[in-house]
Amino acid sequence: MPTLTIRDVPVKVVRSLKRQAKKNHRSMEQEVRTILEDRLRLAGERERRLAAMQRIEESWKQQKRPTTAKEVEEWIRQSRP
């Protein structure tokens, strides 16, 4: 597995990482890995949501007429178990 070196990390950041790692019962190294993995996972989810919203907006632009509130309510009702 590759190694990542980060230089010139402010002392305040290192202290915060150590505190958070201790609270989570992890080493500081594992805490940093977890933070990076979580952040990248969230960024990927955000990108997927934005792409979905763009597809929805594009499909709305292609509609011949506006969607009615009644239609939206019916779609919501159908999607609920």
The string of pLDDT tens digits covering residues 17-57 is 999 999 999 999 999 999 999 999 999 898 988 888 898 88
Q: Note the pLDDT of residue 41.
A: 92
- The model's confidence at residue 81, banded by pLDDT at 50, 70 and 90, is low
Instruction: Supply angle C-alpha 12, 31, 20, rounded to 5.
Output: 50
Domain layout of the chain by residue ranges: 11-79
pTM of the model: 0.60
3 Rama class: left (phi>0) / alpha (psi -120 to 50) / beta? beta
